[in-house]
Amino acid sequence: MKKARIAAIILLIAMIIPAVVFAGGQTEAKSGDDVYTIGMSQCNLGEPWRVQMNADVKAEADKYDNIKVIFKDAQNDTLKQRSHVEEFISAEVDLLIISPKEAQPLTGPVSQAMAAGIPVIVLDRAVVGDDYTQFIGADNVIIGKAAGEWAVETFGGKGAKVVELMGLQTSPPGQDRHNGFVNALKGSDLEVIFEADVKWLEPNARKEMESALSRFDKIDLVYGHNDPATHGAYLAAKAAGREGEIMFIGIDALPHEGIAYVKDGILNATFQYPTGGDVAIQQALKIFAGESVDKKIVLGSRLFSTENVDAGGVPLN
């Protein structure tokens, strides 16, 4: 009796041990081989649009058990962003997503990641050349051109005076939003009488608009390269009691920012600039699966104006 009991216990133990070892081995294989780490280098989180981009990345990544995203915020400091990329390279992340502050200084670090065998998705602001895996972003020339066409349609034949508050001119979206706009104005009687690089920042825009207001008695339109810039200009005009004589257009169209401004009658129009955060994660999954991906993905934009905002805007491309 006693012997039989001992034999039964030994048999039980013999059955349990391999099961535990096997299960342990399986778990290890899953967390070791199948979980991919993505480094997300964000140039700043001081602007609502970038907070939204990170939220979009996170929401999409959270749908998958096998993706882990590490976020780094460079606080609008190019040197800090360069170090962040280097840290991600040393940590041997499986993929890098970068939304660079400026093109030129971040080009080298992106190339270094590529040379280390880390695929790179460049999001929203470009780098120089094409040493990366994929670029994802909306077309800023199309957006700038649409803003110019809106202005010409709205003011054509009336000789409007325009203030342009530009995004950082060492970042490609700032250059493209300017070029698209001025090209669309060519041949019209609209004239840019004041322009300034406000570096995407609302306080800078407010200050520049104050000096524009003090220099010019007649301002018909403010074109800000993002909604915070346009909002800063609106506040300056309101403080001077002149907001009623000026139209205001911006870019980004976040639901709780630009679109809300249009609904509240602060902005006359805003052009959507999608963050692409969700698309970046979907593309990362394809890269992990060994699929080839397009070198460039152009995201669609929409125009939201006083007339169409309640109906959801109209597409530009």
CB of 19 to ligand FRU, least distance (A): 53
Q: Which of 108, 106, 135, 138 is nearest to 120 (CA)?
A: 135
Handedness of CA 94, 97, 102, 103 (dihedral sign): positive
Query: Measured between alpha carbons, how far is 180 from 138 in angstroms, rounded to an integer?
Result: 13
Here the tokens at position 150 are 């809106």
Query: Measured between alpha carbons, how far is 281 from 289 in angstroms, rounded to an integer?
Result: 12
Among 38, 40, 41, 50, binds ligand FRU (CB under 6 A): 50
- Asked if 202 touches ligand FRU (CB under 6 A), the answer is no
Query: Measured between alpha carbons, how far is 1 from 235 in angstroms, rounded to an integer?
Result: 92
CB of 147 to ligand FRU, least distance (A): 12
Among 248, 273, 280, 281, binds ligand FRU (CB under 6 A): 273
**Region 142-201 residues binding ligand FRU, contact defined as CB under 6 A:** 167, 171, 173, 200
| 54, 302, 251, 59 alpha-carbon torsion, rounded to 10° | -10
Among 38, 47, 120, 221, binds ligand FRU (CB under 6 A): 47
CB of 73 to ligand FRU, least distance (A): 12
Q: How many residues bind ligand FRU (CB under 6 A)?
A: 13
| 110, 111, 112, 117 alpha-carbon torsion, rounded to 10° | 100
**Segment interacting with ligand FRU, rule: CB under 6 A, options 3-11, 19-27, 45-53, 232-240:** 45-53
Asked if 134 and 297 count as a contact pair (C-beta separation under 8 A), the reply is yes
CB of 122 to ligand FRU, least distance (A): 12
Chain residues in the site for ligand FRU (CB under 6 A): 47, 49-50, 124-125, 167, 171, 173, 200, 226, 251-252, 273
